[in-house]
Amino acid sequence: MMRAIELPLAGDERQVLDRIDADWIAELAGTLVRAGASNEPGPEHATVQALAAVLTGIGAEVELDEVAPGRPNLVARVGSREWGDGVVFLGHSDVVAPGDGWTGDPFEPRRRGDALVGRGTTDMKGGLAAVVAAMAAVHAEDPRLPMTLVCTVDEEADAIGALHYLATTAPTTYAACVVAEPTDMVTITACRGATNLRVEVTGASAHAGKPDEGASAVLAASDVIDAVEADARRLAAAPHPVLGAATWSIGTIAGGHGTSIVPDRCVLTVDRRTLPHEVPEEILAALLGDARERTRAAARPGSDRIGLAGVVEMVMPGFETDQDSPLVHCVRDAVRTAGRAGDVGVWTAACEGGFMAQHHGAPTVVLGPGDLKNQAHQPDECVSVSELYDAARAYALIAMRSADRRGDTPTTSTRPGAATSPRSNA
């Protein structure tokens, strides 16, 4: 249901918002969901092609950059650089596997009242559709105003798309970064980072009947676990004032060759949720150093033959934006104007916004339609169409109110193709 706008609007803002149509957004989100089932060369290829076609149609300059076969990042820009770089919106084109428990085809979108059902509707093809609708509406009325959409591959796994973007893109002075991940339209001003570590313990094998002739990698792995637990207690005692404590979680342990053989190898994979100032390589070095000291102190048979090594397998940095900053006030006002509460919060989860905050130095928030906790990655995933509509309106207002409007005041566009931009039927 489309609710009345609750806060005052400037004349050009009203014209932009009148162009945004909920059914158009739902149709685009459904197209992106359906593309997820494609047998194209890569898992994101068809989704990105569908997104690129719509963006080109609204007048955007679209660049595709293949990160891996069939896995292209997308960067789409509208507006004039004479007015600065404007807002950058961030999204991702991949989804998790559908899994079991669906009542219909996960990749065949369907309406259920106000809900749009399908894999990725919440995380995050609905958010992408809302961003495109906002860009289309703003650009049709105000063609000089700059906006950018960055859409990466592989966010749900190893963030290879974001890492490729960082390696190939020069820093840009964006006014702000808005990550369109699902937040129930709550403005997320900070989130922890995520680091995946792999720790390998090596020892020496021997017959289990003579364990003193070997060096147990599994027993030495217990020293790594003890070091993790000790540091977890330290972190819990000194939480971040906004984000809370950084945390550890040991995900997997694998080692040994059989019951009657002293294990000469053991591998642990470890999740470490980080705070914005922490350096993953330093975290790993400290963990290995503590574990080595514990192995030496234990003085087990063959302890001098134990080796410890580790690697940082994945890094997704966190970020923090002051809740009293101009950007947060702008975003909250835009959300309220769109008819939502304008609440703020923080995430203990991670997202790719930290990459953008670090690389571009832009103040960053996460704001998007959909229920991350109860809908993302779930069977019969769905998103409210009215929330998609409200998100698009909020995005449009954020882009307009954040722009550095240099040069002459633009006039309403009469360029060819403007009529193809979505317009409200309200």
Q: What is the pLDDT of residues 324-340, one digit of tens each?
A: 999 999 999 999 999 99
How does DSSP classify residue 419? G
Average pLDDT rounded to a whole number, residues 241-259: 96
Contact 115, 374 (CB under 8 A): no
The whole-number pLDDT of residue 349 equals 81
Q: In terms of DSSP H, where are the helices of 237-378? A: 280-298, 326-337, 353-360
The whole-number pLDDT of residue 415 equals 29
Mean residue pLDDT across the chain: 92
Catalytic residue among 123, 155, 181, 390: 155
Q: pLDDT of 164-199, one tens digit each? A: 999 999 999 999 999 999 999 999 999 999 999 999
Share of the chain above pLDDT 70, in %: 92
Q: Which residue has the higher pLDDT, 409 or 124?
A: 124
Q: How confident is the model at residue 3 (pLDDT cuts 50, 70, 90)?
A: very low
Q: What are phi and psi of 310, to 5 degrees?
A: -150, 165
How does DSSP classify residue 260? T
- Name the helix (H) or strand (E) containing 146: none
The whole-number pLDDT of residue 224 equals 98
Q: How confident is the model at residue 9 (pLDDT cuts 50, 70, 90)?
A: confident
Q: In terms of DSSP H, where are the helices of 88-216? A: 126-141, 160-168
The whole-number pLDDT of residue 412 equals 35
Beta strand 110-112 with 115-117 is antiparallel
The CA distance from 180 to 128, in Å, is: 7
Question: In a 3-state reduction of DSSP, which class is residue 16?
Answer: helix
Tokens 């995380």, residue located? 123
Instruction: Give yes or no for residue 408 having a pLDDT over 50.
Output: no
Contact 208, 283 (CB under 8 A): no
17-28 burial by CB neighbour count: b if 16+ within 10 A, else e? bebbbbebbbeb
Average pLDDT rounded to a whole number, residues 336-362: 94
Instruction: Give yes or no for residue 414 having a pLDDT over 60.
Output: no
The whole-number pLDDT of residue 321 equals 97
Q: What does the block give as tokens for 371?
A: 């229920």
Average pLDDT rounded to a whole number, residues 65-85: 94
| Euclidean distance between the first and the last CA atom of the chain, given in angstroms as a whole number | 11
Contact 214, 264 (CB under 8 A): yes
Q: What does the block give as tokens for 307?
A: 């080796």
The CA distance from 40 to 367, in Å, is: 30
Question: In a 3-state reduction of DSSP, which class is residue 90?
Answer: strand
Q: Is-catalytic flag, 18?
A: no
Largest Cα–Cα separation, the chain: 86
Q: Which residue has the higher pLDDT, 405 or 135?
A: 135
Instruction: Give yes or no for residue 2 having a pLDDT over 80.
Output: no
Q: Is-catalytic flag, 44?
A: no
Residues forming beta bridges with residue 65, ordered by sequence position: 73
Instruction: Give yes or no for residue 350 having a pLDDT over 90.
Output: no
Provide the whole-model pTM: 0.87
The whole-number pLDDT of residue 83 equals 87
**Cβ within 8 Å of residue 318, ≥6 positions away:** 190, 191, 192, 193, 243, 274, 275, 276, 350, 354
Instruction: Give yes or no for residue 287 having a pLDDT over 90.
Output: yes
The CA distance from 57 to 55, in Å, is: 5
Q: What is the DSSP string of 149-160?
A: EEEES-TTTT-H
Contact 10, 115 (CB under 8 A): no
Contact 21, 126 (CB under 8 A): no
The whole-number pLDDT of residue 263 equals 97
Closest C-alpha among 22, 27, 29 to residue 1:
22
Q: How many CA atoms lie within 13 A of 391 on its CB side?
A: 37
The whole-number pLDDT of residue 176 equals 97
Contact 389, 22 (CB under 8 A): yes
Q: How confident is the model at residue 425 (pLDDT cuts 50, 70, 90)?
A: very low
Contact 246, 240 (CB under 8 A): yes
Q: What does the block give as tokens for 103?
A: 């009542």
Catalytic residue among 13, 44, 85, 94: 94
Average pLDDT rounded to a whole number, residues 335-353: 94
Q: pLDDT of 13-72, one tens digit each? A: 999 999 999 999 999 999 999 999 766 667 899 999 999 999 999 999 999 999 999 999
Share of the chain above pLDDT 90, in %: 87
Q: What is the DSSP string of 344-380?
A: EEEESS--THHHHHHHH---EEE--SS-TTTTTTSTT
Q: Which residue has the higher pLDDT, 7 or 200?
A: 200
Q: In terms of DSSP H, where are the helices of 1-98? A: 11-18, 22-35, 45-57
Q: How confident is the model at residue 7 (pLDDT cuts 50, 70, 90)?
A: low
